[in-house]
Every structure is written in structure tokens, then in C-alpha cells.
Structure 1
């Protein structure tokens, strides 16, 4: 039994070290502005896409302001399809309605890292798939040639919802720890 826990400890230690190295690599590769130094080898034919389901059109300066110039403290996630940042968006329509500002999640798609077909298919499916989105779609920004922005409303969870999620996760972990045969998870 002790040997199993010793192996478990080494596995956890190696996993934590790997995640720390990934975090450091992401921070080092994250530039202060995504709008500079990008070279696009293809011209995306955006006129073929249906933008009626893409919400409002935002200006790039609104996106930059909302994310604090893409501050590392606002970075939520970086994966193969782009970056996710949290922010507070102050835009015209919100100011007119009297709300002032709203919390948002902004997905940044770097077209030099994502091929044209993957980008098109993400845009076409964005209004149809609710499970893969961080929240309700607010709009987009296509001003920049090489970097595109998709803006979602940040869905904040109340404490009851958070507690329900935590309990479900705990039950899932309990199952993984006590099932036979045992499962390795990360």
C-alpha cells in the first residue's frame, strides 16, 4: 500500500511540475499586443460567412481596453484555438441602456496559428453550439487582418451553483478513487 502512495506522490509531483512549466512557457510567449508582427499567408473570405448570428461588431480599441491591453492577470486560458481573456466591456449600447459596463470573456484567434478551415468551422458553428462557449455570444471584432476577437457575456455563477458543481466534482473524484479497477486521472 505504501508503495502505491509513493508512486502516486511522484505522479502528482511530476504533473504539477509539467503544469508549472506549461504556465511559464505560456507567460513567456504571451506578448503585450497581439496586433503586431503577424503575417497572414491567406486572405480569409469573410463575405462567405453569415454574420447575422455573430452579434454586435466591436472596435479593436474597445477589446484592448476591456482586457487591460491583454493583461496576463486577465488571461483565463490559452489553447490551440486561441486565448481566452476576461474583461469589463464599456460599449455604446450598454451605456445607452444605463448599465455602464458588463463582464465579458474575449476569445482571441490568431490566424497564423489556426488554419482557415478550422477558423471558418468555428465561426459557422459558434451560434449553434452552446456547450463549447464560455457564455452567451455578444459580438465580434474583425478589424485586424491576422487576429480576430469573439466576445461572450461572462456568465457568473452564484454560490449555490458553485456548491452544486463542487459537490458533483467531489462525487466524481470519490468514484475514481474507489472504483475497481482503480483509474488514474490528472
Structure 2
């Protein structure tokens, strides 16, 4: 029973009690029937049976007699007093509930007004349908609620987006290092000149990352909307992206064989969560080395969910998106999108980790060669396989482990989607290749015997 129902019930009881009170007062105002004299009462008593006789005779000392008449006057007064007290109590309770209800409504109204003003100030613009959607999402998802950053705080944290704080340039924006305080170090992605497609991807990113929580998926702290610019505030990933580590200035020198296998396992775990444990299941649709970020301990996390969709979404309604070097053939040619599309992209990443090559190599101004086309003939030839391994790790792995990784990669990049394994099966194949201390099940008792180095590329 809510407050309004209780209020109505007490109002009815108060009205009834006051009606009864009024009826009693009216009854008392009528003239009383005169009491007959003692002699009349005596003769009347002779005609009335003793069971109905209203006069009580009490024993008195000899020579004295008194007849006492008992009336209902005292009883009526007690009832009247009780009704007055009850009516007063009900009236008091009713007034208390009325004032409490008014107070609650006023407080709720002020709270909503204050929240809306705060939200508008944080975003720097007036509310519109997308803002309402974001605010509803934040309120509905209390466990993983996102912070709404105001623009001045982002300016202060990035030192007005100084070049010295510039970390990287993404597909649709720039990423800056941000110091909000001594404890919170974050990465701010700035997107300027937002188009309709960018707006849709921004909304998609906020939507998915407010729901998805996993150790191998990037954490989104919050967002900011300011004019035509959009800002996303992520956890800091000190080692940048896998693409930077493999194809940047260091050319993969910091990535040992075991670290590369750990990264592969981390990515597979993130994809397994999306495909098998997320409700609803999710297809990332843009798995690539630049969207795999590494923290200070080389823990890998999937990022950039702007193109992610619910598994089973009709691909006819989806615009062909993603990076061509990682796009599965069936999606590129026929528009068919499933979780096996992510598996294909994972296979390309696995080949990058294995060979150290880019997914698409420029052989001539008008000629490119994909890593899949180049590697496939050699992956299945055990005599040639060691020759295509990245020279940085060529002497670090066991040959059996190399064969196993090559076999997994071959299955992932099969042209026919049904031939590709599930991401769960891939994960179970790779975990035994990663040492215990790095999150796998491999027990390393002594250094592995190096593979005979082949000629470098």
C-alpha cells in the first residue's frame, strides 16, 4: 500500500469519526424525558418485572431508605471523550502524512531539477534525445554507471590537450594522457567535428562499455559532450596498442614468445566473454592489433566497441564496416556477419604475433600482399614454418608449440566460416602454451631448447 492509499483510508476514517461525533452531539441536544417522581416510580415498579427494573434498592439502616436512579449519562460522556480523542489522533496523523507527502514531492522535484541542471552544465549544451538516452542508461545501470565529465576538467587534466600529452591518433580521434589527480591517470579520446556515423559509434561505445565488465575488455570511466566534440575517458594502458609494440619503433623487441602467447590468450578470453557469456552475445566487428591495448604488465584488453553489434543482428541492415585487412571474406563479399567473423580477425592478429609482419604489406605502389595470402602456404609446411617466424622470437619457442600455434592460425583464417573453430576451442588450445605466472597452465621447469635459427627475412 503506497502513501496515497494510506492517505485516502485515513481520510475516510476521519470523515466517518466526525460524522459519528456530530450524530452524538445532535442526540445530546434533544430534550430529555422527565424523570417521574419517587411515588410514581414506586407504582411503576410494581408493574415492571424485576429483570427490567432500572432502580436498584440498597440496604439502609433502619429508619432510612433511599432510592438511587442510575442513568447512562456518564457512559455517554466517556464514549464522547473517546471519540473526540480518536478523531483528534486521526486528524493529527492525516495532517502529518499530508505534510510528509508534500515534503517528499518538493524534495524529489528539487532533486530532479538540480540533477538536470548539473547534467546540462557538465555537457555544455542543452538536453536533446541522445543526452536523455545516455542519462537514462547511466541511471539504469547503477552497478556500472559512468561518470559525466565536464569540459573544463578535461582541459585541466590534459593541460589544454598539449602535444606533450598526446599518446596516439585513432581512426576518428586523438588520445591524450590525463592527470585528474594523483591517483587517477586516464586516457582521453577526443573526437572533433562529429558526423552522423561518428555520433552513432560514440553512442554505441558508451552503450556497450557501460554494460560489459571483464578483465580483458577496456574500462570506460565516463564521457563528455561539448558542442560538436565528443570525449571518452578510459583507463590508462601504459604500453599503448599491440600495433605500436609490433610495428612501431621497437619492432616487437619487448614482446617475448611467452608474452605474445599471453596476449593471444587475453584477447581470446575477451572474445569468449563477448561470444559465450555476454547477454546478449556480442560480435566486436573490429578486432585488430590497434584495438588491442596493453597495460604496464602487458595484459591485453579489447577496445573500440563503436562497431559492435548483438550476435544474430541481420547483416542486411548493417553498413559494411571494419578494417579491410581483418575483415572475413564472407562479410566482405556477401555481408554475412557472425561470431566467426571475429575468429577470422583473431587469426590475422595471431599471424601478426607469430611473424611480426603487418596485416597488409606494400610490395609496390599499386601492389599489396595480405599476411594471410603470404603465410598460408608456409604455415602448413614444417620445413618452412620456422623461417617465417619473427626474428625477435625465433630462438625462444619450442617447435611443438610453434606447430600448434600455426595450426590454430590456419583454422582461424579459413575462407569457409564453418571450418573455423569457436573462440572457446581456440582459448583451450592456447592456454597450455602460456606459463602459470602469465595466466596459462604451462609449467616452465627449465629454459626451452631454442629452434635452429633460419635465415632472416
Name the TM-score, length of structure 1 as normaliser. 0.50
- Separation in 2, partners of 1:136, 1:120: 16
Structure (1/2) with the larger helix percentage: 2
Does structure 2 retain, via aligned residues, the 8 Å contact 1:104–1:152?
yes
Partners of 2:146 and 2:210 within 8 A in 1: no
Residue 356 of structure 2: aligned partner: 173
Match of 2:203 in 1: 120
Counterpart CA distance in 2 for 1:111 and 1:139 is 20
2:176 maps to 1:85: yes
Q: Could you say what secondary structure the match of 1:87 adopts? A: strand
Please list every run of 5 or more consecutive structure 2 residues that lacks an aligned counterpart in the other structure.
1-127, 240-253, 261-351, 358-370, 380-387, 389-457
Q: Which stretch of the first structure deviates more once superposed, 100-109 or 133-142?
A: 133-142
The answer as to whether partners of 2:191 and 2:230 remain within 8 angstroms in 1 is: yes
- Cα distance, 1:173–1:84 mapped onto 2, change above 3 Å: same
1:51 corresponding residue in structure 2? 138
CA contact (8 A) 1:134 1:155 kept: no
Higher RCO (C-alpha under 8 Å, 6+ residues apart): 1
Shift of 1:164: 5.2
Question: Any gaps of 5 or more consecutive residues in structure 1?
Answer: 1-42, 91-99
Matches within 5 A, 1:5-154: 45-49=130-134, 50-52=137-139, 53-90=144-181, 100-113=182-195, 115=197, 116-129=199-212, 135-142=218-225, 144-154=226-236
Deviation of the 1:134 alpha carbon: 8.1
Larger radius of gyration: 2
Report runs of 4+ in structure 1 exceeding 3 Å deviation. Answer: 128-131, 162-167, 169-172, 178-184
Contact 1:54 1:137 in 2 (8 A): no
Q: 1:48 Cα deviation (Å)?
A: 1.9
The superposition leaves residues 18-71 of structure 1 with CA deviations (integer Å, 9 ceiling, x where unpaired) of xxxxxxxxxxxxxxxxxxxxxxxxx66221231244522222111111112111
The Cα shift of 1:106 comes to 0.6
Q: 1:180 to 1:138 in 2, by over 3 A?
A: closer
Question: Greater strand percent: which structure?
Answer: 1
Q: What CA distance in whole angstroms lies between the structure 2 residues aligned with 1:114 and 1:89?
A: 30
Helix, strand or coil at the partner of 1:149:
strand
Displacement after TM superposition at 1:173 (Å): 2.6
Over aligned residues, Cα RMSD in angstroms? 3.7
Distance 1:179-1:82 versus aligned 2 partners, 3 A rule: closer
Question: Structure 1 residues 61 and 156, CA, compared in 2 at 3 Å: closer, same or farther?
Answer: same
Distance 1:88 1:124, change over 3 A: same
* 3-state SS of paired residue (1:86): strand
